Amino acid sequence: MLRIGLIGAGYWGPNLARVLNQSRRTHFSAVCDIDARNVEKITTQYPAVRGFFTVRELLDSGVDAVAIATPISTHFELAKQALEAGKHVLVEKPLAHESVLCEQLVELAERKRLTLMTGHTFIFSPPVIKVKELIDAGELGDLYYMSLSRVNLGLYQKDVDVIWDLAVHDISILLYWLDAMPTEARAFGRACVQKDKNDVAFLWLRFPSGLVANIEISWLSPQKMRRSMIVGSKRMVVYDDIEPSDKVKIYDRGVMVHQPESFGEFQLTYRMGDMVAPNLRNIEPLLTEVEHFAECAETGAIPMTNGAFATRVVRVLEAAVGSVREEPAVRTGVTLA
Amino acid sequence: MLRIGLIGAGYWGPNLARVLNQSRRTHFSAVCDIDARNVEKITTQYPAVRGFFTVRELLDSGVDAVAIATPISTHFELAKQALEAGKHVLVEKPLAHESVLCEQLVELAERKRLTLMTGHTFIFSPPVIKVKELIDAGELGDLYYMSLSRVNLGLYQKDVDVIWDLAVHDISILLYWLDAMPTEARAFGRACVQKDKNDVAFLWLRFPSGLVANIEISWLSPQKMRRSMIVGSKRMVVYDDIEPSDKVKIYDRGVMVHQPESFGEFQLTYRMGDMVAPNLRNIEPLLTEVEHFAECAETGAIPMTNGAFATRVVRVLEAAVGSVREEPAVRTGVTLA
Amino acid sequence: MLRIGLIGAGYWGPNLARVLNQSRRTHFSAVCDIDARNVEKITTQYPAVRGFFTVRELLDSGVDAVAIATPISTHFELAKQALEAGKHVLVEKPLAHESVLCEQLVELAERKRLTLMTGHTFIFSPPVIKVKELIDAGELGDLYYMSLSRVNLGLYQKDVDVIWDLAVHDISILLYWLDAMPTEARAFGRACVQKDKNDVAFLWLRFPSGLVANIEISWLSPQKMRRSMIVGSKRMVVYDDIEPSDKVKIYDRGVMVHQPESFGEFQLTYRMGDMVAPNLRNIEPLLTEVEHFAECAETGAIPMTNGAFATRVVRVLEAAVGSVREEPAVRTGVTLA
Amino acid sequence: MLRIGLIGAGYWGPNLARVLNQSRRTHFSAVCDIDARNVEKITTQYPAVRGFFTVRELLDSGVDAVAIATPISTHFELAKQALEAGKHVLVEKPLAHESVLCEQLVELAERKRLTLMTGHTFIFSPPVIKVKELIDAGELGDLYYMSLSRVNLGLYQKDVDVIWDLAVHDISILLYWLDAMPTEARAFGRACVQKDKNDVAFLWLRFPSGLVANIEISWLSPQKMRRSMIVGSKRMVVYDDIEPSDKVKIYDRGVMVHQPESFGEFQLTYRMGDMVAPNLRNIEPLLTEVEHFAECAETGAIPMTNGAFATRVVRVLEAAVGSVREEPAVRTGVTLA
């Protein structure tokens, strides 16, 4: 059983604590946080867990691995320190705030022969896995486009904008589904409430196959949405994570082009078949994630969301965010106003 | 009572015919179409209407005005011919397939002192008018952003792509609501089913006030959506045209920034108030549109959706579509794959 | 082609007129109504139709059949008069306001060898037919229970209460699905707005197989509902007629009882399978109904919703309504207050 | 701070344990259960709590009060034993399986001057309280009728049927809202899966004011519903507990009867106003319930859901269930089949 310590017990840490305690593959033995109250909450709830106020102490407490749930800007230094101390590392997403730093962590983990994994939890969620299976089995045909919305009111993050906070989920899902990197990435957003921090954004991605994707993210939406539309030549899928049941709906619908017989025009016909909402396993993604990490750390297997995967996610984020900065405020040569 | 003739009785024409027949401000007296079956259907259903096979005959039949419901590429020539014959003109949207042609029609109508109006029907729809009233009364505060989705499966148009077919609605709604032109317009799309004709697209607009808007349009969506989110600093609105009732929902919600007392960080608080779905009048937008046209033709008043308005809609379409063509397929300097 | 006359052109008549005009199996030749304006509206819209102010004139105008869309209390006399004149008869539902009168009409039609059919339109609607097919094919297993809701705000009828106005739909659907008569029928309601006229009611039915059904009907509901739940031992179905698509949802779910091995308790397990929303034909039930009537009148085939069927519907209505009158206002022997 | 012990740590007990631990008004000091594993789970998670295997030991461990979360058939004996030992008692609903037993407990608690409260949690839930406020303030006008649905697939209870398991919630809500007892109560149900245990039922209640209520409950529904419709002469309310937000919707709609001027008919007009979904406090009902119990036990105040209230709930259950047994399977004098 993997002895594991938790670094960071603020907003997200308690969720990891619960699962580390629940899993039979992990022995949750230590926690550290710079805020004593956060440490105390965990040690009160899990009396067998030892509390520390420095990472150094936690690393020296006999753990085999650490889970890092601290602000994004600290991920790199903490993960590096843990790897250098010979610990397997599970870092919350994104792996680091720059892709070059991600690459350094990947290299370090490889050199040390340690498991480096990032907490892209959605990759372990039944509806996301179901869509992946449909794509890989060819059930959807050629993929035309995807449109993903992840909006709600709040929760503003202190150190990152809405792209780094929310789009990271959708990008990880897209890279998992498509097993490919986009050739083009753009973003368009606005800092509405606080200067210099986008709280609404729209991202465009184009993949080598021709598939295009749109991602809509917002901290400023009156209704919560967690909705993905995946449109293929054979079937179309709506994955709505808000739905209490029937989260994945597969529509056997499409448009077919008929060759003109001689000189005529192309004819289109619409195919309207059944809709199926497959029954999905009722498992908790975070628990699956932690058990996958424990298994990889013990066997040396490569995690689904390993450092290389997490680095690609950050690279797409950087490319999209980069496009925001580069674009002129007004397009040259087009006078609209 | 305005004597009016209908040019084009194919897909959309029969709807106009029904309303021209129903209105007490119009006398529906003539119809023409190149397809004899289309003419016959109308004259059978409305025996008082005279049927013709050429526009010339219809224009000479004693009408005061015409309503044009033909393919977009023919709008300019037909509207021009009618104006030159001294008729008031109601053209289906968009006014013409190029903004320079729109401008020519505007100029011609002014010179002839005739009413030129475009059938942007949504401008006459109760939920769209309600949102306009909320914006103008300052109920929403500063406008932050808008996100509009108009997607369904089919109906593919023969002469235009999805942007010209569907985004024209959302752009007309935005220009009406904001009374301003965007300084920036972009589009990103894909021709999935037929080569050279986008069937899915995403548009970005930025307005002088800072407001950003995203428009999602598709002929390839398994579920139909007609949904607009309008986010302001004071209130947020969701306008969902699919809902059988409660199409407009006003959320008294927002995020407030509090100045730090001395050196501290900015603090955010969330305001969570009631949601109100105002009761909306139960009128038919198309009938209102036709009666507004008749009134303007008779009194010389300027239509809400006059030629100048319709020209601005086409100019935004052109700018957005133009951006699709100009962009390189792969962004220089960013190697994602 | 069946020459057919319409008796009654008030609220529902115009819908029948449209379909009689549209069908290729019927020749819509005459209309009569005591209100001259109603006659004029029809003859203006369908100039080939002759207008009358008495039923006598219409019956003498050379029609083969009549469609009756008048207040319920007049159905019997008008249908009788038409049958006696040798015309096939399609009457709006319910066939008559008393089952003994229904029986007289059935007998008369048989004696005259004429088609007598009632306009239970839902029996011709694709979702209702789909549920019937599922039941008959054994897809749902043993039927446990059904719960049907048909509520909205208005439209109050002048001559009947909400049970005769709305429950007639659900009872006809149940009799069609089950092909059996209930052994027990009760109703419980209230006249809220107008004295002596129930505007909300709940009906209970028990069928020989053991199946129980609950019907909720109301003219006083803020939200419109048209929802049926059909629960069987193998599968469960929700048929929601308000849904724009996916009106029928089949859930492959159930509860299974396991025999105890020796002395233990019965064990229950839940089966959770996929949900399927079958694609349904896009036809208009009213048109199908009219064409079915025309076919039966011409061939002598027995209509789905013939007089005998319609009589059974009225008999269930009478039994349920009768129970309302008979019950004491306060149950003897139970002092609750 | 009230020292409190938990009796029963099976299905529902752990929820109470969490809240007893969380509240600052209670000191969760002891737990007992006949199953050692249940005790161990609680003492492991809350190390300060002492575990026992008999109620006697728990009562002797220095607690001021107990919370009872055991099978319904044991409520009476356990509550009696605790009251006799001088402890305040919070019992899960229903208070006991017979109203005469409820009365004995009420009498005993009064004699001993102890607090006796039942865990009708919905009485402490913000949407239920909001509807109560609307009724009491006269916002809904005269109450016409209510229709409540509480259905889902499972969870079958071992010792009671669906009426005792689910309808108990709706009856407690109705008695709280109306502050009156029904003069009539009936039930109609079926034991589909297991003999002798209803798993679907429909209840009818009539109150002295004339208001009628229908309750639909089922363990055999493919879709989960928690929906109440409350219809008054001034306004109508839909309370849907499944909705993630906007659980209460107030419709400013109604039907008005106009006196005939002289001899004419009564005229009806429909009033269609706005819909408002009030913002509701975000509190946990179970925590409020426990803190209310602690406050009453300490101050002697009368709990909202005291023994007398809980007794009335059971009396309505008994009357409704009694009606099931008494009714003949086939109504005399009506031969439907």
* ipTM value for the complex: 0.91
Does residue C334 have a pLDDT over 70?
no
Chains that touch D (3 or more CB pairs under 8 A): A, B, C
Which tens digit of pLDDT belongs to each residue from D246-264? 999 999 999 988 876 666 6
Tokens found for residue B24: 């007490």
Q: Which residues of C touch A274 (CB under 8 A)?
A: 276-279
Most B CBs within 10 Å, among C45, C152, C221, C243, to test the B interface? C45
Going by C-alpha positions, the residue among C223, C185, C199 that lies closest to residue C312 is: C185
User: Do residues D287 and D23 lie in contact, with contact meaning Cβ atoms separated by under 8 Å?
Assistant: yes
Domain B123-279+319-325: give its CATH superfamily.
Dihydrodipicolinate Reductase; domain 2 (3.30.360.10)
Query: Which residues 51-80 of D are in CB contact (within 8 Å) with C?
Result: none
In whole angstroms, give the CA distance from residue D23 to residue D294. Answer: 10
Q: Mean pLDDT throughout C41-69?
A: 95
| Assigned CATH for A123-281 | 3.30.360.10
Residue A239 pairs with which residues in a beta bridge? A228, A248
> Between residues 7 and 46 of chain B, which touch chain C (CB distance below 8 Å)?
45
pTM for this entry? 0.93
pLDDT higher than 90, residue A279? yes
What is the percentage of chain B residues whose pLDDT exceeds 90? 83
pLDDT confidence of residue C145: 98
Cβ–Cβ gap A242/D242 under 8 Å: no
Among B57, B114, B35, CA closest to B80: B114
Q: Which of D239, D267, D237 is nearest to D255 (CA)?
A: D267
Average pLDDT over residues A241-253: 94
Contact at 8 Å (CB) between B47 and B22?
no
Size of chain C, expressed as the number of residues it contains: 337
Contacts of A28 (CB under 8 A, 6+ apart): A4, A6, A17, A20, A21, A46, A48, A49
Average pLDDT, chain D: 92
Contacts of D276 in chain B (CB under 8 A): 274-277
| Contact between chains at B242 and C244 (C-beta distance less than 8 A) | yes
Multiple choice CATH, D123-282, 3.40.50.2300, 3.40.50.11780, 3.80.10.10, 3.30.360.10: 3.30.360.10
Instruction: Please tell me the distance in Å from C291's CA to the nearest CA on chain D.
Output: 31
How many CB atoms are closer than 10 A to CB C330?
15
Most D CBs within 10 A among B237, B276, B280, B283, hence the mutation to make, goes to B276
Q: What is the pLDDT of residues A202-218, one digit of tens each?
A: 999 999 999 999 999 99
% residues pLDDT > 70 (chain C): 94
Which residue among C47, C244, C245 places its CB closest to the CB of B47? Answer: C47
pLDDT score of A264: 64
In chain C, what is the straight-line distance between the N-terminal and C-terminal CA atoms, in Å?
A: 65
Q: Which of D158, D92, D85, D154 is nearest to D119 (CA)?
A: D92
Nearest CA in chain D to A21: D45
Assess contact for D63 and D88: CB atoms under 8 A.
Answer: no
Q: Give per-residue pLDDT as tens, A39-59.
A: 999 998 888 899 999 999 999
Q: In the predicted model, what is the mean pLDDT of residues D73-99? A: 97
- Residue B44 tokens read as 């059978």
The Cα–Cα gap between B90 and B305 comes to: 10
A237 near A250, Cβ under 8 Å? yes
Length of chain D (residues)? 337
User: With contact defined as beta carbons under 8 Å apart, do D87 and D59 qualify?
Assistant: yes
Contact criterion met (CB < 8 Å) for D337 and C237: no
Q: Does residue B218 sit at the A interface (CB-CB below 8 Å)?
A: yes
Residue contacts between C and D (CB atoms, under 8 Å): 189
Is some CB atom of chain C closer than 8 A to the CB atom of A272?
A: yes
Place of tokens 């949102």: B131
Of chain D, the percentage scoring pLDDT greater than 90 comes to: 83
The confidence band for A265, taking pLDDT boundaries of 50, 70 and 90, is: low
Structure token digits, residue D128: 């239920």
**CA dist., res. A316 & res. A182, Å (int):** 8
Residues D296-321: what's their mean pLDDT?
Answer: 96
Question: Could you tell me the end-to-end alpha-carbon distance of chain B, in angstroms, rounded to an integer?
Answer: 66
CATH number for the segment(s) C126-284+319-325: 3.30.360.10
Which positions ≥6 away from A232 have C-beta within 8 Å? A135, A139, A140, A141, A142, A143, A144
pLDDT band at B263 (very low <50, low <70, confident <90, very high): low
State the pLDDT at residue C257: 82
Considering only A264-273, C310-319, D44-53, D299-308, which range has the smallest mean pLDDT? A264-273
Cα(B272)–Cα(B274) distance, rounded to whole angstroms? 7
Pairwise CB contact (< 8 Å): D194 & C266: yes
More confident residue, B237 or B257: B237
Contacts of C168 (CB under 8 A, 6+ apart): C93, C94, C120, C313, C317
Nearest CA in chain B to D271: B279
For residue B203, cis peptide bond before it (omega within 30 degrees of 0): no
> What does the pLDDT read at residue C221?
95
A24-55 per-residue burial string, b: 16 or more CB within 10 A, e: under 16: ebbbbbbbbbeeeebbebbbebbeebbbbeeb
Is C277's Cβ below 8 Å from some Cβ in A? Answer: yes
List the domain boundaries for chain A.
2-114, 123-281
Residues 299-328 of B with CB under 8 A from D: none
Per residue in C191-213, pLDDT (tens digit) is: 999 888 899 999 999 999 999 99
Cα–Cα nearest to D205, from D325, D36, D305, D321? D321
Q: What is d(CA D251, CA D254) in angstroms, rounded to the nearest whole number?
A: 9
Q: What digits encode the pLDDT tens for the residues A222-244?
A: 999 999 999 999 999 999 999 98
Examine residue C140 and say whether the peptide bond preceding it is cis (omega within 30 degrees of 0). Answer: no
Contacts of B277 in chain D (CB under 8 A): 274-277
Q: Write out pLDDT tens, residues B191-226.
A: 999 888 899 999 999 999 999 999 999 999 999 999
Sort out which chain B residues have CB atoms less than 8 A from A139's CB and list them.
none
Q: How confident is the model at residue A194 (pLDDT cuts 50, 70, 90)?
A: confident
Q: Name the residue of chain D whose CA is nearest to B245's CA.
A: D275
Give the largest Cα separation in chain A, rounded. 80
Q: What is the CATH number of domain A2-114?
A: 3.40.50.720
Residue partners of C182: CB distance under 8 A and separation at least 6:
C174, C205, C206, C207, C213, C316, C319, D336, D337
The answer to whether A222 contacts chain D (CB < 8 Å) is no
C280 touches chain A (CB under 8 A): no
Among the listed residues C310, C285, C288, C312, the one whose alpha carbon sits nearest the alpha carbon of residue C89: C310
Q: Sign (positive/negative) of CA torsion D278, D282, D285, D289?
A: negative
Cα A201–chain centre separation: 17
pLDDT of residue C328: 37
Chains contacting B (3 or more CB pairs within 8 Å): A, C, D
**Mean pLDDT, range A189-196, rounded to an integer:** 89
Q: Which residues of C touch A272 (CB under 8 A)?
A: 279
B49, B70 Cβ separation under 8 angstroms: no
For residue A14, what are its two tokens? 């308690």
Nearest CA in chain A to C251: A277
Indicate if the pLDDT at residue B265 is higher than 60: yes
**Per-window interface: B 143-202 vs A, CB < 8 A:** 144-145, 147, 151, 153-154, 156, 158, 180-186, 188-190, 192-194, 199-200, 202
pLDDT over 80 at B308, yes or no:
yes
Q: How confident is the model at residue A101 (pLDDT cuts 50, 70, 90)?
A: very high
Task: Say if residue C180 is exposed, middle or buried (CB neighbours under 10 Å; 0-12, 13-18, 19+).
Answer: middle
* CATH level 2 (architecture), domain B2-121+286-306: 3-Layer(aba) Sandwich (3.40)
Give the Cα separation of A102 and A108 in Å (integer). 10
Q: In the prediction, which pLDDT does A271 show?
A: 86
Give yes or no for residue C330 having a pLDDT over 50: no
Closest partner residue to D336 (CB to CB) among C183, C214, C331 is C183
As to burial, measured by CB atoms within 10 angstroms (0-12 exposed, 13-18 middle, 19+ buried), residue A333 is exposed
Nearest residue in B to D277, CA atom: B275
Confidence of residue B135 (pLDDT cuts 50, 70, 90): very high
Q: Other CB atoms closer than 10 Å to residue D12's CB: what's the count? A: 14
- The residue behind tokens 């509190």 is D283
| Residues in C touching B45 (Cβ below 8 Å) | 45
What chain B residue is nearest to A187 in terms of C-alpha separation?
Answer: B204
Q: How many Cα atoms occupy the beta-carbon half-sphere of A198 within 13 Å? A: 23
One-letter identity of residue A52: F
Interchain CB distance below 8 Å, C336 and D184? yes
Q: What is the mean pLDDT of residues D19-48?
A: 94
More confident of the two residues A34 and B264: A34
